[in-house]
Amino acid sequence: MAEIRALVAAAGRGTRSGLPYPKTLFPIQDKPILVRIVELLAPYDTQPTIIVSPEGEQPVRQCLSQNSMQAHLVVQSEPRGMGDAVLRFADSPACAEAEHVLLVWGDIPFLQLETVAVMVDAHIQHNNDFTFATCVVDSAYTVVSRDAVGRVTGVFETREQGIAEPQVGERDIGLFIFRKAVVLDALRKDLPGKLGKSTGEHGFLYVIGHLVVRGLNVEALPVATELDLVSLNSLKDVAAYL
């Protein structure tokens, strides 16, 4: 099988969640979210790369040590956005041997192994360049757009489009797999949509539309479950699971 290396974007400082430490370390049922994610990724990569903030590096390292887990920690020196965080994978020892990158946002505690497996299997079997899991929800803050025959044309964030009230739509869940070379190359370029209008940060989802325009194989799989959708933006998001 092609070489797959896992990447966890976990440089969030926890401030918006009201936490004094990285939100990926928030314990749910006595197990930190990051530990759950690293366990989930083990069938694909037993030493994932984790992108951390400068102040989050030591707490994350300590958490991994306490749970007998190995990882490559790469520091994102400034909070420049998710695209910049993904680009930091180039600084990981795992980058050289990776053909595909399995990317997970670091605040998703209940990703299901079956969801990951379906996505990864489709990506490899269909010879895709970019594959991601999705779900149709009542309030979609990111929206997958498709053409008349159902092919993905892009993904946009509602706040960047000036949409005040998100509507029913198909959204990503923060779980992706892609060919390292094509995505890192796209992220390095000054492409339209790179910097968010509202944040000024380097985004990530904008690259999907550019890959489609280039004629590369992009597939969105509406396979996510209700548990896959849980993420920690504020403590109320996970209150029912504590």
Q: Which of 82, 89, 79 is nearest to 53 (CA)?
A: 79
CA 90 from centre of chain: 16
What value does the mean pLDDT take over residues 175-182? 98
Q: What is the pLDDT of residue 15?
A: 61
CB atoms < 10 A from the CB of 172, how many?
Answer: 22
CATH number at residue 194: 3.90.550.10
What value does the mean pLDDT take over residues 134-149? 95
What average pLDDT is seen over the chain? 94
CA 15 from centre of chain: 19
What value does the mean pLDDT take over residues 17-25? 87
In a domain, 46, yes or no: yes
In a domain, 30, yes or no: yes
What value does the mean pLDDT take over residues 171-188? 98
Q: Report the number of distinct structural domains present in the chain.
A: 1
pTM of the predicted model over 0.85 = yes
Amino acid 90 reads A
Q: Which of 55-59, 61-65, 235-239 is the least confident region? A: 235-239
Q: Which pLDDT band, with edges at 50, 70 and 90, does 42 fall under?
A: very high
What value does the mean pLDDT take over residues 201-228? 97
Domain range for 43 is 4-132+172-241
Region at 154 (left for phi over 0; alpha for psi -120 to 50; beta for the rest): left
Take residue 20 and report the two structure tokens written for it.
């004094």
Q: What is the pLDDT of residue 199?
A: 85
In a domain, 197, yes or no: yes
Q: What is the pLDDT of residue 16?
A: 66
Q: What is the DSSP string of 164-222?
A: SS--SEEEEEEEEEEEHHHHHHHHHS--TT-B-TTT--B-STHHHHHHHHTT--EEEE-
51 within 8 A of 87, measured Cβ to Cβ: no
What value does the mean pLDDT take over residues 88-99? 97
Q: How far apart are CA 9 and CA 146, in angstroms?
A: 27
What value does the mean pLDDT take over residues 225-229? 95
Q: What is the pLDDT of residue 74?
A: 98
34 within 8 A of 25, measured Cβ to Cβ: yes
26 within 8 A of 19, measured Cβ to Cβ: yes
Greater model confidence, 159 or 4: 4
- H or E element: which one contains 218? strand 218-221
Distances (CA, A) of 187 to 10, 16, 50, 125, 173: 18, 26, 18, 25, 20
In a domain, 106, yes or no: yes
What value does the mean pLDDT take over residues 204-232? 97
Q: Which pLDDT band, with edges at 50, 70 and 90, does 14 fall under?
A: low
134 has a pLDDT exceeding 70: yes
Phi, psi of 60 (to 5 degrees): -65, -45
In a domain, 182, yes or no: yes
In a domain, 147, yes or no: no
Q: How far apart are CA 45 and CA 177, in angstroms?
A: 13
Q: How far apart are CA 126 and CA 136, in angstroms?
A: 23
Q: Which pLDDT band, with edges at 50, 70 and 90, does 4 fall under?
A: very high
In a domain, 235, yes or no: yes
In a domain, 160, yes or no: no
